[in-house]
Amino acid sequence: MAVTVERYLKVVHPFWCKKYLKRWMIDVAMAFAWVGGIVFLMPMAFVTTMVNGGMCLAFHVCESPAVRMAVFVWGIFRDFIIPAMLFVYCYGRIVVVMRRQVRVMTAHNIEGSTQVSASQVQPKRVKWNITKTMIIVSVAYVICWFPPTIYFVIVDNTA
């Protein structure tokens, strides 16, 4: 998600990015990606985990069924829905900005419309690469995160 947001800022808001986005911010985002998950997940894991018959049941003990459902719904949103929406939004806006830039570049092209110059091919290649990246990242994310998300919802409802 941090890489997607960085790409979004650099393409959609390039002037803001050059003025305000510093290297240390990117380093903090990378560290947060690794440490943030542990910091947010471990307290909940310690409180809600129990050992029953030699089997470790993580996220199994909650105060009430309503709290348990709220935790799982928040987990689905946090781990699956919000990142998927972020990917689609950021890469979608990048594609819109690149299309606008291609239109401007094409309008300023001095050559005739019968010849396709290298300056026309390059923006089309960039647009295709961005679209391809958006599709690959979004589909890979859904393929990797949808099964475990649904699995825990099904297991939680049958337990």
CATH number of 2-158: 1.20.1070.10
Phi and psi at residue 41, to the nearest 5°: -90, -35
Question: Helix, strand, or coil here: 10?
Answer: helix
Q: Where are the domains of the chain?
A: 2-158
In the chain, % of residues over pLDDT 90: 4
pLDDT greater than 80 at residue 139: yes
- The whole-number pLDDT of residue 66 equals 82
Read off the pTM: 0.71
Question: Helix, strand, or coil here: 101?
Answer: helix
Cα 116 to its chain centre, rounded Å, is 36
Phi and psi at residue 55, to the nearest 5°: -110, 130
